[in-house]
Amino acid sequence: MSKQILHIGIDDTDSPKGMCTTFLAYKIINRLKKENVDFLDFPNLIRFNPNIPWKTRGNGAVGLKIATTKPNKIKNLVKKFVIQYSDVKNGANPGLVFCQDDNIPEEFFKLSSDAMWKLIHRNEAKKILSKHNFDYFYLGNGQGLVGATSVIGYTFEDQTFELLSYRKTSQFGKKRFLDKSKVKQMQEKTYPKTFNSFDSKKNKVLLMPHGPDPVFYGVRGEDSTTLISASKMIQPKEKLAGYLIFKSNQGTGDHLKNEIDVETFLPYTSGILHGIVNSKPIITNGGHVFFSIITKNIKIHCAVYKPTQMTDIAKELIIGDKIKVGGGIRKATKTLPRILNLEFIQILKLEKKLRLVNPFCKKCKKHMKSKGKNQGFQCVRCKSTSAHKIQKYFPRSIKKQIYIPSVSAHRHLTKPVQRMREKTKSEKFNPTSSWISNF
């Protein structure tokens, strides 16, 4: 009997209180290994628009591509896992989608690219699934169907990998311990082939979560071979259950590619804008910076929050600076209008910073002093005078470059600076490599 292609999309099985869709994928793959299926790609971990109101931790969906002679048996197995491992009572709205065809319908691609930057209602996904008569399943309100459909329709233009290690069930919820110096060393040895493992400025481990979920640590990088050797350098004392390597759009800046529609400026939309600064930045008591830009004759409010550490850049902007910014639109509150929360600032052209200053005495190399209102200026030393202030250029402390948040404030999709140079080549999946391991 010939094998049939089966795409499996899973989303929103986790809640802030526990579980994790990637761990579910790890469980499912281990089970499918007993069913003589062919794995055709790394499991995909795709992060969609992070600026939606109901996202769980990272708005990440998981996709699997396999070939099997028993698609119906596999579908039932996967469904049982989704039912068993979804945290519905704590707010998960899981979705499970099967596309039993090598050709993925056009609508899946469209939904996927839209889900990257806007808010999509579950009914849009349901409509597509019903039209194609695909098997799907959901619990709760079924919002997870959007991610489960979109992950199947996702097309990689750039990719990274993440090795996620999982704890034994008995350890769930317990405090994690890692040797900080080992993580630091690992990053030093493997950079730039791994990224965001350690914040050397803050001397802080970044690759380890702190919540109740089954993940012990996750190493992100450019290829699976590097991740496997990097993972060996971490050497936690805790005995772990195993690991799984995902191909991902993390670190690709995927949600910040489209130009935001400033006419509608819809809340929960992500994207980029080109504009000219038209208000002097205001610094709040909390250290956040607010300013506005003009784009297509429309005024857009921008916010830069302190934890991003881009506030030192934002406060140096002056009226007339030409910039490109990216981020997510926050809905209006009673006191504030809709605001674009910035996730990067790229300076395209710096305006000259001109200020009027007291005239300069060339002989004494000193600025003159004012003699009183409308009475001109005089040099304190040689007493020479001048009637008017002069214009002086001040150097700008910011440069024509891109500024991104500090590494501790990176989101899953934030593109690290070293990844902006060039795209890495896509790594071919080798099913006999150590892409999954059980210790």
Task: Give the binding-site size for Zn ion (rule: CB under 5 A).
Answer: 6
**Please, what is the angle between helix 144-153 and helix 106-115, to 10°?**
120
Q: Which is nearer to Zn ion, 17 or 389 (CB)?
A: 389
Q: Which is nearer to Zn ion, 204 or 381 (CB)?
A: 381
Q: How far is the CB of 385 from Zn ion (least distance, A)?
A: 10
Q: Identity (one letter) of the amino acid at 314?
A: A
Q: Which stretch binds Zn ion (CB under 5 A): 138-146, 177-185, 324-332, 360-368?
A: 360-368
Q: How far is the CB of 373 from Zn ion (least distance, A)?
A: 22
Q: Which stretch binds Zn ion (CB under 5 A): 169-177, 194-202, 270-278, 378-386?
A: 378-386
Q: Which stretch binds Zn ion (CB under 5 A): 133-141, 230-238, 240-248, 359-367?
A: 359-367
Please state, in angstroms and rounded to a whole number, the distance separating the CA atoms of residues 322 and 349: 5
Q: How far is the CB of 374 from Zn ion (least distance, A)?
A: 21
Q: Which stretch binds Zn ion (CB under 5 A): 125-133, 177-185, 371-379, 415-423?
A: 371-379
Q: Does 304 bind Zn ion (CB under 5 A)?
A: no
Q: Which is nearer to Zn ion, 332 or 380 (CB)?
A: 380
Which residues have CB under 8 Å from 433's CB, separation 6+? 224
Q: Which is nearer to Zn ion, 69 or 384 (CB)?
A: 384
Q: Which stretch binds Zn ion (CB under 5 A): 72-80, 106-114, 338-346, 358-366?
A: 358-366
Q: How far is the CB of 360 from Zn ion (least distance, A)?
A: 9
Q: Using CA atoms of 359, 360, 364, 370 in order, give the dihedral in degrees to the nearest 10.
A: 20
Please state, in angstroms and rounded to a whole number, the distance separating the CA atoms of residues 115 and 234: 35
Q: Identity (one letter) of the amino acid at 269?
A: T
Which H, E and C letters describe 339-395, residue by residue? Answer: EEEEEEEEEEECCCEEEEECCEECCCCEECEECCCCCCEECCCCCCEECCCEEEEEC
Nearest to 317 by CA among 363, 282, 272: 282
Please state, in angstroms and rounded to a whole number, the distance separating the CA atoms of residues 389 and 358: 5
Does a cis peptide bond (omega within 30 degrees of 0) precede residue 192?
Answer: yes
> Within positions 208 to 247, which residues make up the interface with Zn ion, using CB under 5 A?
none
Q: How far is the CB of 309 from Zn ion (least distance, A)?
A: 44
Can you read off the two tokens belonging to residue 54? Answer: 């109901």
**Please, what is the angle between helix 180-190 and helix 224-234, to 10°?**
150
Choose, by CB under 5 A, the member of 164, 260, 347, 361 that binds Zn ion: 361
Q: Does 377 bind Zn ion (CB under 5 A)?
A: no
Q: How far is the CB of 261 from Zn ion (least distance, A)?
A: 59
Q: Which stretch binds Zn ion (CB under 5 A): 57-65, 80-88, 220-228, 354-362?
A: 354-362
Q: Identity (one letter) of the amino acid at 149?
A: T
Q: Identity (one letter) of the amino acid at 384?
A: S
Length of the chain: 439
Q: Which is nearer to Zn ion, 185 or 386 (CB)?
A: 386
Q: Does 364 bind Zn ion (CB under 5 A)?
A: yes
> Within positions 43 to 62, which residues make up the interface with Zn ion, using CB under 5 A?
none
290 Rama sector, left if φ>0, alpha if ψ -120 to 50, beta otherwise: beta
Choose, by CB under 5 A, the member of 215, 245, 379, 407 that binds Zn ion: 379
Q: How far is the CB of 358 from Zn ion (least distance, A)?
A: 12
Choose, by CB under 5 A, the member of 72, 382, 388, 426 that binds Zn ion: 382
* Residues that bind Zn ion in the complex, under the rule CB under 5 A: 361, 363-364, 379, 381-382
